């Protein structure tokens, strides 16, 4: 039941997003679009409530409960970011707005961008681990919580891997190819520091 609800929440996320952006930019119903987009967090609350109810009714903690916690953690950390990104593209394509600013590709600016993304991953992992720890305490000594602990370690591993990637951008910043505006701007900045 929990797996079906996770799938329904993911489908619901994209349906609400499409309806919200469509109402906002195609039908010019700005308030309706905002209301539809604000319904997104309700999906996570429903998933959280059903998962807790499933455990309360004696379900053996399993991988589906761990997956639900990871999904909620991800949407808490990256949900608004994803909506904002897609809203910028919809505003450009459907509303005549200028194209959204792309993330930096080179140098320290790229490292800072990757660092901010890592902080989102940290938030997602913290939320997932907290939910999983709450489930472990809720189940107590009577149940097998090994699958919940395994998902906590999975969240920590993802955080670590993403941290190594972000740190790589900081230690070895990617240089802009010669002849690009980014390379010229970096050269001017280096000359100004001399």
% the chain with pLDDT above 90 = 51
Specify whether the backbone of 138 is left (phi greater than 0), alpha (psi in -120 to 50) or beta. alpha
Give the chain's domain count: 1
pLDDT digits (tens, 9 = 90+) for 52-68: 888 888 788 888 989 99
Integer CA distances (angstroms), 47 to 13, 70, 73, in order: 12, 11, 12
* pLDDT bucket at 174, cuts 50 / 70 / 90: confident
pLDDT digits (tens, 9 = 90+) for 119-171: 999 999 999 999 999 988 988 877 788 899 999 999 999 999 999 999 999 99
Provide the domain limits for residue 76. 2-192
Helical (H) or strand (E) element with 99:
none
């Amino acid at each position: 039941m929990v797996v079906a609800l996770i799938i329904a929440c993911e489908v619901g996320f994209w349906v609400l997003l499409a309806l919200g952006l469509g109402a906002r930019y195609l039908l010019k119903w700005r308030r309706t679009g905002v209301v539809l987009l604000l319904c997104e967090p309700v999906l996570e609350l429903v998933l959280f409530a059903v998962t807790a109810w499933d455990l309360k009714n004696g379900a053996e903690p399993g991988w589906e409960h761990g997956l639900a916690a990871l999904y909620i953690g991800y949407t808490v950390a990256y949900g608004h970011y994803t909506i904002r990104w897609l809203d910028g593209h919809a505003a450009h394509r459907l509303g005549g707005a200028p194209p959204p600013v792309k993330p930096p590709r080179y140098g320290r600016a790229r490292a800072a961008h990757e660092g901010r993304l890592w902080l989102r991953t940290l938030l997602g992992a913290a939320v997932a681990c907290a939910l999983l720890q709450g489930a472990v305490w809720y189940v107590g000594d009577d149940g097998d919580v090994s699958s919940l602990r395994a998902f906590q370690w999975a969240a920590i591993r993802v955080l670590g891997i993403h941290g190594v990637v972000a740190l790589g951008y900081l230690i070895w910043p990617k240089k802009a190819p010669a002849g690009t505006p980014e390379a010229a701007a970096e050269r001017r900045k280096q000359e100004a520091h001399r």
